[in-house]
Structures are given as C-alpha cells and as structure tokens.
C-alpha cells in the first residue's frame, strides 16, 4: 500500500493480488477534480488490461467519501473539459470486466455520488449522506440524470435530481441505491468479496458482467453524450447557471433571473 500523502488516489492490491483497492485520498472533501478523475481513470484502465482481478474496492480516506466535483471546474471555459473527463471515467467504470464494490461513509454528493453509482454495489454507513445538490446552484447532474432513473424507481431518482436534497445511507439501502447499510462499509465489502467473489473465475465474472450489464452500459453511454450536449450548449448559455456557480464560489446569495 502506498502511504504517500500527496497523491489523490491510493492504489494497492489485496487477497493474493486479486482485489484492487482504490482509496480517494484528499480528505476531508475528496473533491472529484481533474487530478482525481485522471487518477481514477488510469487505475481503472490498468485493471481493465490485467484481466486477473476478481473485483475492485473503492473507498475513501477521512470521514467523507466526497463532497462532489470541483465547482470552479464547472465554470464556462473549464466545464467542457471537466465533463468530458468525468464522463470518460464513468464509461470506463461501466465497461470494467470486474465488479466494483464501493464503501461509503459520510457525505457522498454530486460528482462523488456519480462515481459511486457507476460501480456495481454500494456498501453504505447508515448515517452516510447521498445527494445530487447541483440543482441548488442552478445546474443539473448530467451523469446522475442518466444513471439514477435506471438504478432506482423513477420517483426516487427524480426526487433526488430535482430537489437537491440528501438521503441517509439507510434510506439509500431501502430504495435500492445502496446494496446494504452497515456500520463498517469497508469490512462489509471485504466480507462480500471473500464469501462471494474470491473463489470464482475472474474470466467468467467478466463474461457475466457483459451479459448482465452490456445493454445498461451502452444505454447510459449514449445518454451521457446527449446530456453533455444539453449541459454545454443549453444550460451553460443561461444566466442562472453561471450566476449560481459564481455565487457559490463568491459565498454570496444567488440572484435568479429565471433565464
């Protein structure tokens, strides 16, 4: 395990090298910024090449999984590059031929939640907090707009997307957003790996994922392109989207003009 404090992502292997561990390493916020996205994308690219891993466990240093994406990188002039990179990461995760287990404590918001739900199973602390608060800044969550309505009941998905409110890890498990709510998500994910995945053929797991996830992956990937265009060519040409972001960065109340 790498103990270097200045790397955004810690990467190591466990369980005879068959379990890839990825740990967000920028507490307390673990912001999903350009550097973090690049580190995650590189790690998932390597595991896709190796073909010998049974699974990936993604968790986090500190009390919180992630406060979300960098608001600064959402501003005009930067958002196209940021969205392209984030959506590229999500597409890579959706295509990975190994199960991605995600362990979440604390806040898992915005771009952090979009990364988490791109995995296969979330193990959540009961008092964790899941939400897509982008709407409160007068923007929307592109990847979550594609993923959430396909993962949970549409009424629950649209509630999270339109209200910007957060729900607990316990509630996330109740509506199917998380696989389970448990006091020690990392231990629960490791136990799941040991009991259910470790003894399987990594090669066959890859085929099983393609069989079950292929249509979902293809539909989400195509939808990401649609909403990325809507975000960049539509939303970011409105007054309120830019005002909301600038107000947040400037720590002042936003002044909506509803246009």
Domain boundaries 1-183+204-259, CATH class: alpha beta
- Which residues have CB under 8 Å from 9's CB, separation 6+? 22, 23, 24, 25, 36, 39, 40, 43
Using alpha carbons, select from 133, 65, 98 the residue that is nearest to residue 210.
Answer: 98
C-alpha 130/C-alpha 166 separation (Å) is 5
Q: Give the pLDDT of residue 3.
A: 46
Q: What is the pLDDT along the chain (259 residues), one digit of tens a residue?
A: 444 568 999 999 999 999 999 999 999 999 999 999 999 999 999 988 887 888 999 999 999 999 999 999 999 988 999 999 999 999 999 999 999 999 999 999 999 999 999 999 999 999 999 999 999 999 999 999 999 999 999 999 999 999 999 999 999 999 999 999 999 999 999 999 999 999 999 999 999 999 999 999 999 999 999 999 999 999 999 999 999 999 999 999 999 999 9
Contact 104, 169 (CB under 8 A): yes
Q: Give the pLDDT of residue 52.
A: 80
Chain-centroid distance of CA 2 in Å reads 23
Structure tokens at 225: 């392109």
Full-model pTM:
0.96
Using alpha carbons, select from 71, 41, 84, 56 the residue that is nearest to residue 228.
Answer: 84
Q: Give the pLDDT of residue 5.
A: 66
Q: Give the pLDDT of residue 170.
A: 98
**Which class for 5: exposed (0-12), middle (13-18), buried (19 or more C-beta within 10 A)?**
exposed
Q: Give the pLDDT of residue 77.
A: 87
C-alpha 62/C-alpha 71 separation (Å) is 21
């Amino acid at each position: 395990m790498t103990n270097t404090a200045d790397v955004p992502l810690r990467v190591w292997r466990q369980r005879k090298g068959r379990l890839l561990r990825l740990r967000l390493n920028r507490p307390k916020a673990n912001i999903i910024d350009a550097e973090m996205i690049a580190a995650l994308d590189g790690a998932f690219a390597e595991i896709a090449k190796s073909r010998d891993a049974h699974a990936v466990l993604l968790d986090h240093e500190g009390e919180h999984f992630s406060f979300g994406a960098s608001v600064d990188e959402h501003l005009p002039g930067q958002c196209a590059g940021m969205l392209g990179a984030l959506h590229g990461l999500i597409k890579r995760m959706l295509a990975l031929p190994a199960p991605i287990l995600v362990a979440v404590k604390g806040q898992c918001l915005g771009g952090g939640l979009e990364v988490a739900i791109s995995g296969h199973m979330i193990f959540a602390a009961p008092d964790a907090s899941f939400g897509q608060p982008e709407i409160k800044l007068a923007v929307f969550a592109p990847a979550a707009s594609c993923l959430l309505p396909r993962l949970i009941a549409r009424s629950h998905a649209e509630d999270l997307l339109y209200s910007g409110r957060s729900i607990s890890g316990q509630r996330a498990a109740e509506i199917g957003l998380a696989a389970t709510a448990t006091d020690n998500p990392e231990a629960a994910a490791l136990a799941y790996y040991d009991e259910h995945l470790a003894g399987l053929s990594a090669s066959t797991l890859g085929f099983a994922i393609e069989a079950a996830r292929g249509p979902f992956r293809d539909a989400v990937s195509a939808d990401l392109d649609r909403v990325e265009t809507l975000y960049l060519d539509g939303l970011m040409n409105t007054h309120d989207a830019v005002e909301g972001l600038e107000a947040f960065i400037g720590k002042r109340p936003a002044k909506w003009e509803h246009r």
